[in-house]
Amino acid sequence: MNKKTVEKVLIVDDTTAVLQALSLLLEIHGYDVVTTNSPEQAISIVNQLRVSLVIQDMNFTRDTTSGEEGKALFESLRALNPNLPIILITAWTDLEQAIELVKAGAADYIAKPWDDQKLLTSVGNLIEVGKSRQQTEQLERHKAAQKPSQTAAEQVGLIYSSTAMQRVVDMAIQVAKSDISVLITGANGAGKEKIAELVQAQSSLANKPFIKVNCGALPPDLIEAELFGAEAGAYTGATKARIGRFEAADGGTLFLDEIGNLSYSGQTKLLRVLQTGQFERLGSTKTMQVDVRVISATNANLLEQIANGEFREDLYYRLNVIELQLPALAKRPEDIMPLVQYFLPARELSLSAEQALLTQSWPGNVRELENACKRVAVLKPQGIIETEDFAFREDVIQNSASVDAQNQMTQEPDKSALENAMREHQGVIARVARQFGMSRQALYRRLNKFGIDY
């Protein structure tokens, strides 16, 4: 069981009685209190400890009433942590100065003598606001750090929002910088080819040949000719010599999709190319030399194929120097709505339609989702897209209706409801989205639609 975090409050005042009274009040209500009568020590404490809120006096020297000392401390604390809530303790003589500091970013002020209940309410609210601001700032930093990789992914048409896909993308960009073999695994339609394109685009071979071969789409007896080429007469119908994909990819990258479908004979020749860069065309004794980086992909369990004697173990370890495991779309539902936006640009969906999309299992993954969106674009080119426009199975529609009932959402929130929720949850997007039972992406679109700042 997780222990609740105890919030730390720093009190800075030159009057011992004030320090004792505030400490007792806050400690009784569960806060961890640190006190000091020195502005310099206050700065040191904030620099060293994780302080959630500061309550500070405006004057620290006897007979001083200008408030300049409090202003200097406030500015120093703000420089250390711009999101740190600060409550100013004021007397009537420095009330005007305190109000000016509140306008400049201080969270609140309390006049002496203070009302205990009002102070406790202010402390609790401001700590929550401070945490929300800190979370927002961390999220923004995280987004900024991810931006280069997301931009790189978008350039090859790879659209995502999930943490799971971000890990795959980051790793793909990292391994792209080397020349080692990469094996991409995942279900059909999950986006393995897009990951291969990302690796190629981010590599030093980006401007070199990038040749793709779908081993699953070729008859077994033609795969070897496709990969290694053939001399005239090497097989029935071969009326002239043809170069293979390895020759075409020389100096660049070869992407072998559905590598698990490669014949055992083809596997043996592929292993040799990976080891030495050498091969012969079918029907030829002339050895050819190429320099090719191989990226392969499969939806099959190659370890099972190895156990069944269907796939060479030594080839597997040659191909699988680095494995990029691509999760199924159902395992990353955060990607569904960004993909729908990409496939249906400038189209609006009802909330029930969005919930139905998120409820669908998508056995065909991104490819199935894309096809569903293309069908809707043709059959309903205008207007708000409803659940029935996607022609989901009846069980999916019923499941979506159940989600609707659980979220008590009979209609989409209007501008007033959104504004009230944003105020109630102090702008925390995750909480507002949870209240309305929608994804964050859906909430962002509605906020933009109504011109509501976030």
pLDDT band of residue 105 (cuts 50, 70, 90) is low
Please determine, for residue 104, whether its predicted confidence score (pLDDT) is greater than 80.
no
Q: What is the pLDDT of residues 277-329, one digit of tens each?
A: 998 888 888 999 999 999 999 999 999 999 999 999 999 999 999 999 999 99
pTM of this structure: 0.63
Per-residue pLDDT at 64: 60
Per-residue pLDDT at 143: 66
Q: At what angle do helices 440-450 and 336-343 cross, to 10 degrees?
A: 50
3-state helix, strand, coil in the chain (%, to 5): 55, 15, 35
Per-residue pLDDT at 442: 74
Per-residue pLDDT at 25: 94
Per-residue pLDDT at 120: 92
> Residues of 242-258 as b/e, b for ≥16 C-beta within 10 angstroms?
bebbbbebbebbbbbbb
**Amino acid at residue number 110:** I
Per-residue pLDDT at 146: 67
What mean pLDDT is predicted for residues 122-150? Answer: 79
Per-residue pLDDT at 93: 52
Token pair recorded at residue 21: 């009274």
Q: Are 246 and 273 in contact (CB under 8 A)?
A: yes
Please determine, for residue 340, whether its predicted confidence score (pLDDT) is greater than 60.
yes
Average pLDDT over all residues of the chain: 85
- DSSP bridge partners of 53: 9
Q: What is the pLDDT of residues 293-305, one digit of tens each?
A: 999 999 999 999 9
Please determine, for residue 404, whether its predicted confidence score (pLDDT) is greater than 60.
no
Nearest CA among 318, 297, 316 for reference residue 306:
316
Pairing verdict, β 287-289 and 278-280: antiparallel
Per-residue pLDDT at 394: 53
Please determine, for residue 408, whether its predicted confidence score (pLDDT) is greater than 50.
no
Higher pLDDT, 99 or 354: 354
